[in-house]
Amino acid sequence: MANSLLGKLLTAFLLVVVITLSITVLATTHLFGSYYTTEKQRELTERGHSIADVIASELESQPATGLLPIARGLSGYFGERVLILDRRGMALSAGHQGMGMGRRQSVLAEGDVARLLKGEVVSHTAFDPRLSTTVLAVAVPILVNNQTEGTVLMVAPLADIEATVSAVRRISFYTAGLALLLAGVIGFLISRSITRPIREISQATELMAKGDFQRRVENNSGDEIGQLARNFNQLAANLDHTLSALNREKHKIGKMERLRRDFVADVSHELRTPLTSVHGIIEGMLDGVIDEKQARNQYLPLAYRETSRMNRLIQNLLDLSRLEAGNHTWEIHAVDLGEAVSRVLSRLQPQIADADVEVRVNVPADLPPIPANEERLEQVLTNLVSNAVHYSPPSGIIDIETKMGPGERITVFVRDDGPGIPEKDLPYIWERFYRVDKSRSRNAGGTGLGLAIVKEIIEAHGGTVQVESAPGRGSTFSFTLPLHRETENPGADPDRAPRGY
Ligand SMILES: Nc1ncnc2c1ncn2[C@@H]1O[C@H](COP(=O)(O)OP(=O)(O)OP(=O)(O)O)[C@@H](O)[C@H]1O
Ligand SMILES: [Mg+2]
């Protein structure tokens, strides 16, 4: 407590109050005492003057009488606290017993006698052992024709003054004690109101140091402490926000690292399978296990298929990496969708005929042109239609349709009545190398990159991709593109940060 801020504040507060009160009490009692003594002095001087005047007029009216008989005659009136002295300071009247009566020696000091002879009033305070109290003595000269003929010495004990002063001091001390108590309570409350929020902030910073940024300090006051609390809360909120963002970033980096590793593993696997098979064929031929006839009829066509798949795989990988890096510079033109579909279908004609499927195109002639890179848009259509052809049953029907809206957008659908895709696979269908039926797709020559390329191209055009499918009910792949582009060069989109493998 003594070392705490509360203790220090309280001590300082009480110290100031104690010092102030002490000064006030001392000054008050001192002033009170000196005022009282001065008043007494003035009163004694006045009385001394009137006695001196009476004696002086007696002396003036009967000059022959002398001071002694007058003094003796008057002594009964004044009591023992008034003494008549001669010019040398010897007591003449039978006044105060303690003033050296009867011993014929000066009651006053030499200096005082000299001052009285000059006509001055002399006054002193001194301790009187007989009365056991401090007394005030005032000596007033008896002036006859401006000549000092004697002295009236007035003595008054200051005991009652002292008693009064000490009573005043006592009352002052009680009052000071009470004030101190009140000051202590008020000081404690004020100090606590200051230190409590500081303590709260201190506790919150301790929690912060342990990584907890949730604690806030409650303080709505408008003073500096309130401001400090608000600033602290703001700081904690900012740190919390930054830290969460950093954590998210860390998580994202971790995820990207995992993706990169998966990708390398996938690519290696995809390349190893056809390479192994080609390697086996060549080895068999070299060893003579495969004869020339077998090789020409069976194994060389297989090696050809494998190498062309590898070729396609590498081509697709290059495409994808260029798309994901975002550094492609395409030219965007107004593309007539109907014409693009016709070109794609005529190129896929051999596969369509092979699969024995019917493709129905329902693209309105008055469809507005789409701002896109023609080659890339055709690549998207090719990938979607070739998938549909590939997965359609014999005599299956493929529909290519369009829909306007919502807003200035167009959606293109490619629908087939193939086997469909299980719901659990739908979220992953756009990922690289993801295949629903792995062996079947790979054996059929698929690289598993077609849909990933579609997604990248469409998103680079500011569009979105969707899929709707259920097992046994066919699949509908679609993409939506804006009919107006803000930037003519999708590759220059700064928000699309390059993605690394
Ligand atoms: N129309 C479809 N009907 C059913 N499944 C489909 C259809 N289109 C795609 N898929 C599934 O999605 C997977 C990924 O398709 P994607 O086009 O990316 O690769 P792929 O067709 O196997 O290979 P590639 O297109 O590179 O030759 C396919 O392997 C298949 O399982
Ligand atoms: Mg495909």
Q: Where are the domains of the chain?
A: 5-166, 327-492
- Nearest ligand to the CA of 447 is 1
Q: How deeply is 472 buried, as exposed, middle or buried, from its count of CB atoms within 10 A (0-12, 13-18, 19+)?
A: exposed
3.60.9.10, 2.40.50.220, 3.30.450.20, 3.40.50.300: CATH of 5-166: 3.30.450.20
| Token pair recorded at residue 460 | 């680079």
Q: Residue 299: which of 290, 287, 309 has the closest Cα?
A: 290
AA letter at 298: Q
**How far apart are the CA of 222 and the centre of ligand 1, in A?**
66
**How far apart are the CA of 332 and the centre of ligand 1, in A?**
28
The residues, ordered by sequence, that sit 6+ positions from 118 with a Cβ below 8 Å of its Cβ are: 148
Which atom of ligand 1 has the smallest separation from the CA of 312? 26
**What number is the average pLDDT over the span 70-98?**
71
The residues, ordered by sequence, that sit 6+ positions from 37 with a Cβ below 8 Å of its Cβ are: 125, 136, 158, 161
Residue 63 preceded by cis peptide, ω within 30: no
Which of 273, 310, 357, 451 best tests ligand 1's pocket when mutated (most atoms within 8 Å of CB)? 451
Atom 19 in ligand 1: which residue has the minimum CA distance? 448
Which atom of ligand 1 has the smallest separation from the CA of 448? 19
Helix (H, G, I), strand (E, B) or coil at 305: helix
Q: Residue 217: which of 239, 227, 238, 232 has the closest Cα?
A: 232
Beta carbons of 235 and 213 less than 8 angstroms apart: no
Which atom of ligand 1 has the smallest separation from the CA of 316? 26
The predicted pLDDT at position 498 comes to: 38
Give the range among 52-56, 64-68, 164-168 with minimum mean pLDDT. Answer: 64-68
Residue predicted with more confidence, 10 or 471: 471
Helix (H, G, I), strand (E, B) or coil at 417: coil
Which of 314, 315, 387 best tests ligand 1's pocket when mutated (most atoms within 8 Å of CB)? 387
Which atom of ligand 1 has the smallest separation from the CA of 452? 18
The predicted pLDDT at position 132 comes to: 82
- Nearest ligand to the CA of 386 is 2
**How far apart are the CA of 107 and the centre of ligand 2, in A?**
138
Model confidence at 398: pLDDT above 80: yes
- Nearest ligand to the CA of 435 is 1
Model confidence at 90: pLDDT above 60: yes
Q: Tokens 């079947």, residue?
A: 440
Confidence band of 355 (pLDDT split at 50, 70, 90)? very high
**How far apart are the CA of 124 and the centre of ligand 2, in A?**
126
Q: Residue 461: which of 491, 494, 432, 497 has the closest Cα?
A: 491
**How far apart are the CA of 269 and the centre of ligand 2, in A?**
18
**What number is the average pLDDT over the span 264-285?**
90
The predicted pLDDT at position 108 comes to: 82
CA distance 126 to 107: 13
- Nearest ligand to the CA of 437 is 1
Q: Give, as residue ranges, everything with CB less than 5 Å from ion ligand 2.
A: 387, 450
CA distance 10 to 353: 98
Question: Which residues line ligand 1 at a C-beta cut-off of 6 Å?
Answer: 316, 383, 387-388, 391, 416, 418-419, 421, 429, 434-437, 441, 446-452, 475
CATH number of 327-492: 3.30.565.10
Which of 266, 441, 447 best tests ligand 1's pocket when mutated (most atoms within 8 Å of CB)? 441
List, as one string, the DSSP characters of 103-156: TT-BSS-HHHHHHHHTT--EEEEEEETTTTEEEEEEEEEEEETTEEEEEEEEEE
Looking at the chain, the number of H-run helices and the number of E-run strands are 11, 11
Strand partners for 156: 136
The predicted pLDDT at position 238 comes to: 92
Model confidence at 311: pLDDT above 80: yes
**What number is the average pLDDT over the span 338-358?**
96
The predicted pLDDT at position 97 comes to: 44
Which atom of ligand 1 has the smallest separation from the CA of 477? 1
Model confidence at 477: pLDDT above 90: yes
**How far apart are the CA of 411 and the centre of ligand 1, in A?**
20
CA distance 275 to 484: 46
Q: Tokens 């002063």, residue?
A: 165
The residues, ordered by sequence, that sit 6+ positions from 302 with a Cβ below 8 Å of its Cβ are: 277, 281
Confidence band of 101 (pLDDT split at 50, 70, 90)? very low
The residues, ordered by sequence, that sit 6+ positions from 332 with a Cβ below 8 Å of its Cβ are: 371, 372, 373, 485, 488, 489, 490
- Nearest ligand to the CA of 452 is 1
Helix (H, G, I), strand (E, B) or coil at 462: coil
**How far apart are the CA of 387 and the centre of ligand 1, in A?**
6
Q: What is the pLDDT of residues 7-33, one digit of tens each?
A: 888 888 889 888 988 888 888 888 888
The predicted pLDDT at position 2 comes to: 60
CA distance 259 to 411: 30
Q: What is the pLDDT of residues 420-442, one digit of tens each?
A: 999 999 999 999 888 888 766 66
Residue 257 CA from chain centroid, whole number: 35
Give the range among 98-107, 265-274, 297-306 with minimum mean pLDDT. Answer: 98-107
Beta carbons of 380 and 457 less than 8 angstroms apart: yes
Residue predicted with more confidence, 162 or 396: 396
Atom 8 in ligand 1: which residue has the minimum CA distance? 387
Backbone angles phi, psi at 209, to 5 degrees: -60, -25
The predicted pLDDT at position 501 comes to: 40
**How far apart are the CA of 337 and the centre of ligand 2, in A?**
21
The predicted pLDDT at position 87 comes to: 84
**How far apart are the CA of 401 and the centre of ligand 2, in A?**
19
Q: What is the pLDDT of residues 184-208, one digit of tens each?
A: 899 889 888 888 888 888 888 899 8
Q: What is the pLDDT of residues 228-271, one digit of tens each?
A: 888 989 999 999 999 999 999 999 999 889 888 888 888 888 88
Residue predicted with more confidence, 499 or 262: 262
Determine how β-strand 147-157 pairs with β-strand 82-86.
antiparallel
- Nearest ligand to the CA of 388 is 1
Instruction: Answer whether 5-166 and 327-492 agree in fold.
Output: no
Interior angle at CA 166, CA 162 and CA 169, nearest 5: 140
CA distance 51 to 153: 10
**How far apart are the CA of 416 and the centre of ligand 1, in A?**
13
Beta carbons of 128 and 135 less than 8 angstroms apart: yes
